[in-house]
Structure 1
Amino acid sequence: MANEVICLDSSILIDYFRKSKKENSFFFELSNRYSSFAVSVITEFEILSGSNQKQKDFWNQFFHQILVIPFDHKSNKEAIKIFHDLKRQRKLIDLPDLFIGATAKAHNLKLATLNEKDFSRISGLEILSKKKK
C-alpha cells in the first residue's frame, strides 16, 4: 500500500456517502491502494455547507480522522498562478475547484476526483480518476 497522502475532492466524498455499497465507490478503491488521505478546507466547507445535521455528524467524524489542509499563503499564490493561466486560455473553472486544485498542487499532492474535466485544466496537477469501463 502506497505511503503518500492523497488529496480528495468533494466529488469523491459525495460519491462515497451516496453509495449504499461503499465497495462500489472510488474512495473504497483508493483506500485499497493508499493509506493516507487529506482534504482541502475548501472541500470540508463544500461538504458541510451542503449537509443536514445527520450528515454533518457523519462528516465531522470523517474530517477528524484525516488531514484537513488550510488554504494558506502558499495555496493562495498557487491559485493566483492557476487563475491567470486559465483566464489566459479562456478555460476558467469554479473558484472552489480552483482553490482545491491549488491546495493539492501547492502541497505536492495527487488529487483524487470524479471531476477530471475541470481539474485536468490545471497544468501540473496530478489527478487520480476513476477509469471508465
Structure 2
Amino acid sequence: MANTPLCLDTHTLIDYLKAREPGASAVEKAVKEYNCCVTSITVYELLFGVARAKQEIGEHALLGVMTILPFDDAVAKRAATLHAELISQNQDIGIKDVFIAATCLEQAMPILTANEKHCRPATTTVT
C-alpha cells in the first residue's frame, strides 16, 4: 500500500502538528501505509498560519518527504466547475477547500481529512 497515494489536508496536518487526536494518529498511520502528498494550497495555509502566529518552524520534516501537488490549469478548470456546482446546490465549502478538493479530484486521489463536511460535497474520497 506504500505506493498508493493519499493527500493529507490542512486540518489533519494541523492536528498532527499540534498533537491533537484523532488527526495526529491518523497522519502517523497514513505516512507508514501510503505515499502521502499535500496540495500547494495546504502548504500555503500552513505557512500562512505560522506567519500569522509570528513563529518560525523552518521546513517541517513531514512536509519535506511529501510530494506537493500543484495548482495548475487543469485543477483551476476543475475548481471553477466544482465551485459553481457547489454554490448552485447551496453547499459552498470555501475557495481554498474547493482548490484542495479539485486538486484531489484531478489527480483521482483520496484525501485524509479532519473536516469531512468540506470534502463530502466535492465527491473526494474521505479516508
TM-score tier (shorter): 0.7 to 0.9
Aligned residues of 2:2 and 2:32 also touching (Cα < 8 A): no
SS of the equivalent of 1:92 reads coil
Aligned residues of 2:12 and 2:23 also touching (Cα < 8 A): no
Deviations 1:39-73 (A, max 9, x none): 11000000011114432x153x4333211111001
Residue 54 of structure 1 is matched in structure 2 by 56
Aligned residues of 2:23 and 2:114 also touching (Cα < 8 A): no
Q: Which runs of 5+ in 1 are unaligned?
A: 129-133
Q: 1:20–1:93: structure 2 CA closer, same or farther, 3 Å change rule? A: closer
Q: Relative to structure 2, which stretch is displaced further, 17-26 or 66-75?
A: 17-26
SS of the equivalent of 1:37 reads strand
Residue 69 of structure 2 is matched in structure 1 by 69
Report deviation, 1:32.
Answer: 3.7
Code of the aligned partner of 1:54: E
Code of the aligned partner of 1:5: P
Q: Percent identity?
A: 29
Instruction: Indicate whether 1:44 and 2:56 are aligned.
Output: no
Q: 1:84–1:15: structure 2 CA closer, same or farther, 3 Å change rule? A: same
Q: Distance in 2 between matches of 1:88 and 1:20?
A: 35
Give the TM-score, by structure 2 length. Answer: 0.86
Q: Which runs of 5+ in 2 are unaligned?
A: none
Aligned residues of 1:15 and 1:26 also touching (Cα < 8 A): no
Residue 125 of structure 2 is matched in structure 1 by 126
Q: Higher strand share goes to which structure?
A: 1
SS of the equivalent of 2:4 reads strand
Aligned residues of 2:13 and 2:23 also touching (Cα < 8 A): no
Q: 1:3–1:92: structure 2 CA closer, same or farther, 3 Å change rule? A: same
Deviations 1:87-119 (A, max 9, x none): 110110111111001001101111110000111
